[in-house]
Chains A and B, each alone.
Chain A
Amino acid sequence: MTEQLRLLLPPEGDDWSPIENYKQNQGYEAAAKALQSMKPEDIVEEVKASGLRGRGGAGFSTGMKWSFLPKDGRRPRYIACNADESEPGTFKDRQILERNPHKLIEGLLIAAWANTIDAAYVYMRGEYRGAFENLVAAVDEARAAGYLGKNVLGSGLDFDVYVHRGAGAYICGEETGLMESLEGRKGQPRKRPPFPAISGLWKQPTVINNVESMSHVPHIVLKGSEWFKTIGKEKSTGTTIFGVSGQVMNPGAFELPLGLPLREIIFEHAGGLLPGRSLKAVIPGGVSMPVLTAEMAMEVDMDHDTLQKAGTLLGTGAIIVMDDSACLVRAATVIARFFRHESCGQCTQCREGTGWLHKLMKSVEAGTATMQDLDTIDEVTSFMEGHTICALSDAAAWGTGWFLRRFRSEFEAHIEHGGCPLEGASFEI
């Protein structure tokens, strides 16, 4: 079994929230190196060269994102750090926020130096009470220790971090929805262009990265991009925190190199299936990502390229496992309900489409649908893809439509049987 490789998280049972603990483990050494001996543009290049890809779901190059900031000297410039972790199945950023918050703060500080940033706003989902209190306390410690505030480490950089609470809306994890929400409005995504790098928070240049992406920056700066690239795969470098949930013996968060076989993560790290069960379906990256059949799941590695070739995406690395006792029509119905609830309502295809999807899924689940309704589901998902301001509509279409496409016989059986044909189905919705 591949050992957990802890770049982001402290060893099991340890808590590096107190700044002394963090500093005893090389904490803030990368910040000192960056601010005292590296040129900002060299840091951007180093992060680009490391191959670090965004850990919020889209997998875009972090260094590339930074290089889109304008070079026109316009100030202030902001970081919006995405801690709105709400993709069902995902609980990885929470591990960093609760057990290693200074790692994030150090990443933000280095990013601020690299990109000439005046302030960072960490937008954290409102429900994360523990993580919020922990990060706020860590920010206060960092400020008292001189890592935030005026002239940080004698570099001339004035920089501070503010922790901002959301209030329960999935769409605020979308980068422009987040900015609208942070400014005090409904979290309805903005049309692009302009992109956030040019016109983000309060119309100023803004770099937006996920908590985990930012938390990788310190060890890349300290040990170099060549070292980072030795972990993981060629186009999926470094570790990530895989979250395994659902019908396994030992659900939890496991920090491992990208590119490990999904089979190993489920059967070794997460302890395998419940006694007497066999695997039926796996969602590899949060409910927005296309579900895999057991056969597909047993063959894929958890990196961007392999999963894309297999007909799904890495997303947030949130692995949801379903065994042969699980009714997949129920699973798809829960997902459809979620997207209906979370659609912000701006775009017709999404507002109406998520409603229709949920209604149709519910009727299949109840056994009142017709075979023609299955074709309607297919049709609805096809007009929801690629036609809206943000990707929520696409996610709703993928997250539900691929259950139908990959497990059509189970949907048909519900219609033929007038309800769930599984005897003793293991879960209710």
Chain B
Amino acid sequence: MTAEPAVVAPVLPAALRERIVAEFPKYPEKRAVLLSALHFVQDTFEGWIPQAVVPEVAALLGLKPIDVWEVIHFYAMFNSEPVGRCHLRVCTNLSCCLRGARGIMRRLEETLAVRPGEVTPDGNFSVGEVECLGSCGTAPVIQVNNERYREGLSEDDLPGLLDELRTRLAEQDAAKDEE
């Protein structure tokens, strides 16, 4: 008697699947699309890669799930655990530290009452330290999600930045409620 193969409901939304497939013609091998595919997954799933999508991404690219997992864990930008809807990454490499990055990091942790690896109870914010972002001449720098950098910051700029992000989140929530 042979067991029926387990049927797993697809979790990749059709639009995401199409976005990944649209990258195929750029490369001689589908595997080359893996990093792009994982970026697209994070764009779709609020900044992280849920475990359930990994087998599907692998199948789409003709890979085994382990091929995808080891890539997820190798690269700093891929999150295998949930992050806040606004994930703030502070560069703490040398040029940024020389211009006050540690104070920025500490102030963020205090203001948001969150440590690296944690998410605020409302799911809105998380913080992390990153290596050099290439903004050394405009240090210190924060990157929110995968957006354009916030550069030349001081601790005094943080309340304004957080207000801006909170307003944006509230607008997103209001838009969702209308739907």
Contact = CB atoms under 8 A, between A and B. Distances in A.
- Do A and B pair up? The answer is yes
B134 A168 contact: no
Interface residues of A, number: 57
A71 interface: no
Contacts, number: 156
A22 interface: no
Contact of A253 (B32, B70, B137): B137
A402 interface: no
Contact of A167 (B28, B39, B147): B39
Given A184-B34, A246-B99, A342-B131, A169 B76 contact: yes
A169 B71 contact: no
B38 A428 contact: no
B70 A243 contact: no
B134 A167 contact: no
A165 B92 contact: no
A332 to B, nearest CB: 10
A334 B39 contact: no
A242 B119 CA distance: 39
B136 interface: yes
A246 B95 contact: yes
Contacts of B172: none
A170 B131 CA distance: 9
A130 B143 CA distance: 12
Contacts of A99: none
Nearest to B26: A162
Given A185-B71, A186-B70, A88 B135 contact: no
Contacts of B70: 186
B45 interface: no
A326 interface: yes
B36 interface: yes
B93 interface: yes
Contacts of A89: 94-95, 132, 136
Interface string B138-153: 1100010011110000
B131 A341 contact: yes
Interface centre among A181, A245, A341, A344 (most CB of B within 10 A): A245
A183 B78 contact: no
B11 interface: no
Interface in B68-97: 70-71, 74-78, 92-95, 97
Given A166-B35, A184-B32, A322-B98, A243 B76 contact: no
B103 interface: yes
Nearest to A84: B134
Contacts of A166: 35, 75
B34 A246 contact: no
A202 interface: yes
Nearest to A251: B137
A94 interface: yes
B29 A287 contact: no
Contacts of B78: 167-168
Contacts of A331: 94
Interface string A142-160: 0000000000000000000
A247 B99 CA distance: 7
Contact of B134 (A128, A187, A427): A128
30 contacts: A86-B132, A88-B93, A88-B95, A90-B134, A90-B136, A91-B137, A94-B134, A126-B35, A127-B77, A127-B146, A129-B148, A165-B36, A166-B35, A168-B130, A181-B35, A183-B29, A184-B32, A184-B61, A184-B67, A187-B74, A187-B75, A243-B136, A246-B95, A246-B136, A320-B98, A320-B136, A334-B92, A427-B100, A428-B102, A428-B103
Interface of A: 76, 85-91, 94, 125-130, 162, 164-170, 181-187, 202, 243-247, 251-253, 283, 287, 318, 320, 322, 326, 330-331, 334-335, 338, 341-342, 344, 426-429
Interface of B: 26-29, 31-36, 38-39, 61, 63, 67, 70-71, 74-78, 92-95, 97-100, 102-103, 130-139, 143, 146-149
CB-based closest 10 A-B pairs: A168-B76, A167-B75, A245-B136, A184-B31, A184-B34, A168-B77, A245-B95, A428-B102, A88-B132, A186-B74
Given A89-B132, A91-B138, A245-B136, 6 more contacts: A76-B28, A91-B136, A127-B133, A129-B147, A330-B97, A429-B102
